[in-house]
Structure 1
């Protein structure tokens, strides 16, 4: 990991940082993938502090924030089910992409959860940039599944990297 990247596991008190990063990142990450009004509604639902706290406290999701050059620039949440580590959320500020933050966060989650058979995630099937990042990092499309995010229905790819 680069010396200018610092990753820290966060508790519920730091979830407003995740919320703020999501509000900044999502309009870029989903531009041309989902409609602007959908982004706003989903951010309000999925990134409400109560929703994030529920993921952390009731569902066992662990959250990390990556700082790059003194700026909170990325976040990841993950959990382990059976012998598979699942990435739930992975987002990087647009101007910090390509600097190793996503890879460093993935490594951190894998180290935290210990040995796993695989690393898996869901990604919107129209999010070509994210799909390309995951393919570049050894993930393959395993399935196509319907998902509900907030009040909207989408289709995701389940992508998996065998470990």
Structure 2
């Protein structure tokens, strides 16, 4: 897999990856119908396309030349001193192979002025929490500003960066 900037031609594959990953992760927690509702709203082609031109952001894919295996999206805020990781997903069949780490590293490198990277994660997503903690993130004392799919506040994790 190599990491590159996402393009318009990737949007259908990115949507398919997000739908598959969300169902694999959340069907047991929220039910398939609720997950379909969420992915239709949050991961539509139109909403993904808007990210391609969003200022102060980076939209990446992990690609092996045959398929998109992972996706990440982040935005710089506060004059670029903080990065907010909005998405980092890897196809379930490819998880545990370093693809998420490659995407995370490239996101961080894309914001050289950043002093910290922050994310919100569903409290029930133990696998994602373990990944982020293994990659240097620590839980912040704050509840997330967004409700997760469960309607509960998400957990906030922060990783300081050498800035």
TM-score class, shorter: 0.7 to 0.9
Aligned with 2:30: secondary structure? coil
Residue 68 of structure 1: how far off its partner (Å): 4.1
Q: Name the counterpart of 1:66.
A: 62
Aligned partner (choices 109, 116, 123) of residue 125 of structure 1: 123
TM-score by length of 1: 0.86
* 2:138–2:158 CA contact under 8 A, matched in 1: yes
- Structure 2, unmatched stretches of 5+, are none
Aligned partner (choices 64, 83, 86) of residue 84 of structure 2: 86
Aligned with 1:99: secondary structure? coil
Q: Name the counterpart of 1:144.
A: 143
Q: 1:10-159 residue pairs with structure 2 within 5 A?
A: 10-58=6-54, 60-68=56-64, 70-82=66-78, 83-142=81-140, 143-148=142-147, 153-159=151-157
Give the RMSD, CA atoms, in angstroms: 2.0
- Structure 1, unmatched stretches of 5+, are none
Q: Distance in 2 between matches of 1:130 and 1:149?
A: 14
**Whose strand fraction is larger, Structure 1's or Structure 2's?**
1
* 1:42–1:149 CA contact under 8 A, matched in 2: no
Residue 125 of structure 1: how far off its partner (Å): 1.1
* 1:46–1:149 CA contact under 8 A, matched in 2: no
**What is the aligned residue count?**
158
Q: Deviation digits for residues 36-73 of structure 1, max 9, x if unmatched?
A: 22100001000111112233434654211102474321
Q: Distance in 2 between matches of 1:14 and 1:68?
A: 13
Aligned with 2:158: secondary structure? strand
